[in-house]
Structure 1
Amino acid sequence: MKLAFQLAYKNLMGAGLRTWLNVGVLSFSFIIIIFYNGLIDGWNEQAKRDSIAWEYGHGQFLHSEYDPFDPFTVLDGHGVLKEEQSKNLTPILIRQASIYPDGRMLSVALKGIDVNQSTLELPIQAMKESTAAIPAMVGENMANAAKLKEGDEVLLRWRDKGGTFDAANITIVKVFDTGVPTVDNGQIWIPIQKLWDMTGLQNHATLFVANDQFQATNISGWKFQSQEELLSDLTEIIAMKKVSGSIMYLLLLAIALLAIFDTQVLSVFRRQKEIGTYIALGMTRSQVVGLFTVEGSMYSLLAMLVGSILGIPLFAYLAKTGIAFPAASQDMGIALADRIYPVFGVQLVLTTILLVVIAATIVSFLPARKISKMNPVLALKGKLQ
């Protein structure tokens, strides 16, 4: 085996530019595969972490009549939990409302949250410390859509529990930045105590967010959704992105492997005298086949070396600084931060190395099989069988 590697290395270096072209294409495919999967894994981890921290907590209790995808259920989808049942749960009450910035009307989801909660990372401290009659906070996307900034007052109209319209000015005390658009777009947050007073729905909540101390139980009139269920849509999107991305890098890999295959076919055709000499010197056909297979697989080993020289500094830089995404990407409706930090795990790198090495070995073996059928006498004469 040592002799096979030595001969394979000598032959590859002797091929010159042809070898380095094959290695270059294969190493490029190697880098692209790791980069794309690392980016998707980084997005996946970051989106899940942000969604849990900003919105989902460790699960949610939703009122049985409330459907997050049906805005008409907000009117009646709320209820009260007993004090012993609401332990380790943060109540959120959602009501439909409208605001009138600069004479325009915008429909919003008015959300009340306990200013003393610590389950979600919403910056509620500003509302807690404010002396405004109705302090409110909005996300950056909402602030841009309504052209609001901290310190602005805007007219808010809502309905109380009897369906009667009421209105008052609210003060924007905080504009927060988040990568989770479902707590930003079209939403205004106020203290739940204020919302209870405004609507007359004392102690009512549309949903409850669980903290890490909560033990899931069945509560009549409420449905519990675990983290896995809440994150299922995001998981499906990530899986779909991986499948669609695999088409791209498999095409790149196929181009590189085709170049190796063509090179091996040409080698077998042009080096028949060399093959005949090996057999005449006592090497078995299987040993010669192995020699050419090792020679082809060494393209992948050289590609790993070149890819590591180029890829390691690049991946280290991207993992540290992240990749910035344009502001327009925040409007997709899924958790996507303005900067994503790729995750290049050991499993990803090892899996990619195995994929490239095994694929290169297979395409090297296929043309080398012809050697086992060669007549050594004709091969020494350089004639086709």
Structure 2
Amino acid sequence: MLLLKTAFKNILGGGMRTWLNVAVLSFTFVIIVWFNGITDGWVQESRQETIAWETGDGQFWMPEYDRYDVFTLPDAHAPIPNGYREGMAKGDLMPVLVVQGTVYPGGGRVMNIQLKGIPAGQTAVKLPTQGLADREEISALVGKRMARSAGLQEGDYVMVRWRDRWGAFDARQIRIAGVFDSKVPAVDTGQLWLDIEDLQQMTGMDGEATYLILSVGTEVPVDSGWVFKSLAYLTADLDEMLAANRIEMVILFIILLSVALLAVFDTQTLSIFRRQKEIGTYVALGMTQKRVATLFTLEGTAYSLLAIVVGAIWGTPVLLWQAKVGMPMPDLIEETGIAIGNVIYPIYTFTAILWTILVIVFSSALISYWPARKITKQNIVLSLKGKIL
């Protein structure tokens, strides 16, 4: 405790040099906490939105279906097994039929799309399918991205072509019943959502589906022949992308922390160089050279402790304000295919803040010990005379 008090007195007596080091370290501390908060906020929002709009708590795929291979779509449909009927009746399972199609939005343009059938009025996902209940004509929902790329608006009619189960082409005008806004591109880009009964009738696939969505909070039913895809599998792409982002974040942290710790290292090296007589005096008064080295190490560590306190003072209101207003994202972010909103709201967790503090303190102690360890090898007699080794 005495060494720690002495260390704080020594660095506080350093004047402007001390406060410059503290300012750099506190800035690094706040930036790391903020960046972690932005990443955690994005992760949580992306996962929640993906579950709410697309995956549910998992999906049952018919064996021939592969969402990454469009060539499987002609065969990716089958009658729904009886084992799933009870879950569908309770609303625990929601069937989705996927058919490859083409849309002609006008102006001589042609767009390849996927026609997806879903029960009108379902509640398993957030798709606003209530507008598909109109039985007078075939209606469809489109996402904001799809509507913008195809130039469609609510109430428009668009020509759609598809193949039925026998391979014959058919076409019909379909009314756009609504345009929904989702942060999940996987339910938006290149897709038209229809009532599943309409799509089954159009394609001759009565009673068939491509996959079933398991509602959030329900139990997985008994296996009835279709392949269950867990939430971990369905969000694997998101997890891999986040893992890559974590690597980039670590590299950024290393750069920031290296710049901040370089100032501490230079300060401690210069301090040991200039305080030769003081080091010799400490030893002459009874301190071992190892304790003197510990004192200088604690001085370097004290910079980080003081920086954390200063960073908490000025950084807390800034971080709380950022958590309230969020960080706006450019409109082009929608074209990246990432599940992300127009604004990211950071989430600051105790674990992330604690790890940041531990890393900064440990790194400061390590970088301070590096020059201080030379004290144990110094000739104390020469140090008392002020001679530099």
Q: What is the Cα deviation at residue 287 of structure 1?
A: 2.2
1:116 aligns with 2:121: yes
SS at match of 1:15: coil
1:263 aligned residue:
267
Q: Distance in 1 between matches of 2:114 and 2:237?
A: 22
Seen in structure 2, the aligned counterparts of structure 1 residues 82 and 216 have a Cα distance that, compared at 3 Å, is closer
What amino acid sits opposite 1:312 in the alignment?
Answer: T
Q: What is the Cα deviation at residue 163 of structure 1?
A: 2.1
1:72 aligns with 2:71: yes
Which of 41-50 and 30-39 deviates more?
A: 30-39
1:49 aligned residue:
48
User: 1:132 touches 1:171 (CA, 8 Å); kept in 2?
Assistant: no
What amino acid sits opposite 1:157 in the alignment?
Answer: R
Per-residue CA distance 1:158-181 (angstroms, 9 max, x = gap): 222222222222111111111100
What amino acid sits opposite 1:137 in the alignment?
Answer: L
Per-residue CA distance 1:15-57 (angstroms, 9 max, x = gap): 2221122112222221222222221111111111111110101
Uncovered stretches (5+) of structure 2, i.e. residues with no partner? none
1:317 aligned residue:
321
Q: Distance in 1 between matches of 2:168 and 2:99?
A: 13
Per-residue CA distance 1:272-307 (angstroms, 9 max, x = gap): 111122222222222222211111101101110222
Q: What is the Cα deviation at residue 132 of structure 1?
A: 4.8
1:292 aligned residue:
296
1:6 aligns with 2:5: yes
SS at match of 1:151: coil
2:24 aligned residue:
25
SS at match of 2:194: strand
SS at match of 1:343: coil
What are the within-5 Å matches in structure 2 for residues 355-366 of structure 1?
355-366=359-370
TM-score after normalising by structure 1: 0.95
Q: What is the Cα deviation at residue 246 of structure 1?
A: 1.0
TM-score after normalising by structure 2: 0.94
Runs of 4+, deviation exceeding 4 Å:
none
1:213 aligned residue:
218
1:38 aligns with 2:43: no
Q: Distance in 1 between matches of 2:307 and 2:116?
A: 55
What are the within-5 Å matches in structure 2 for residues 149-298 of structure 1?
149-211=153-215, 212-220=217-225, 222-298=226-302
What amino acid sits opposite 2:272 in the alignment?
Answer: V
User: 1:89 touches 1:214 (CA, 8 Å); kept in 2?
Assistant: no
Q: Distance in 1 between matches of 2:103 and 2:294?
A: 75
What amino acid sits opposite 2:328 in the alignment?
Answer: A
Q: Distance in 2 between matches of 1:31 and 1:360?
A: 16
SS at match of 1:101: strand
Q: What is the Cα deviation at residue 241 of structure 1?
A: 0.6
1:374 corresponds, among 350, 371, 378, to 378
1:337 corresponds, among 338, 341, 359, to 341
2:97 aligned residue:
93
1:136 aligned residue:
140
What amino acid sits opposite 1:42 in the alignment?
Answer: G
User: 1:304 touches 1:353 (CA, 8 Å); kept in 2?
Assistant: yes
User: 2:83 touches 2:222 (CA, 8 Å); kept in 1?
Assistant: no
Per-residue CA distance 1:112-163 (angstroms, 9 max, x = gap): 10113211111112223x4650121100000000111111111222222222
What amino acid sits opposite 1:59 in the alignment?
Answer: G
SS at match of 2:352: helix
What amino acid sits opposite 1:79 in the alignment?
Answer: A
User: 2:98 touches 2:210 (CA, 8 Å); kept in 1?
Assistant: yes
Q: What is the Cα deviation at residue 315 of structure 1?
A: 1.6
Uncovered stretches (5+) of structure 1, i.e. residues with no partner? none
Q: Distance in 1 between matches of 2:136 and 2:22?
A: 67
Q: What is the Cα deviation at residue 72 of structure 1?
A: 1.5
What amino acid sits opposite 1:57 in the alignment?
Answer: G
Q: What is the Cα deviation at residue 215 of structure 1?
A: 1.7
Q: Distance in 1 between matches of 2:135 and 2:80?
A: 30
User: 2:154 touches 2:179 (CA, 8 Å); kept in 1?
Assistant: yes
Per-residue CA distance 1:301-333 (angstroms, 9 max, x = gap): 111022212321122122222212112111222
Which of 347-356 and 164-173 deviates more?
A: 164-173
What amino acid sits opposite 1:114 in the alignment?
Answer: P
Q: What is the Cα deviation at residue 340 of structure 1?
A: 1.5
What amino acid sits opposite 1:274 in the alignment?
Answer: E
What amino acid sits opposite 2:312 in the alignment?
Answer: S
SS at match of 2:100: strand
Q: What is the Cα deviation at residue 216 of structure 1?
A: 4.6
Q: What is the Cα deviation at residue 7 of structure 1?
A: 2.5
Q: Kindly tell me the number of residue pairs found equivalent between the two proteins.
A: 382
Instruction: State percent identity of aligned pairs.
Output: 46
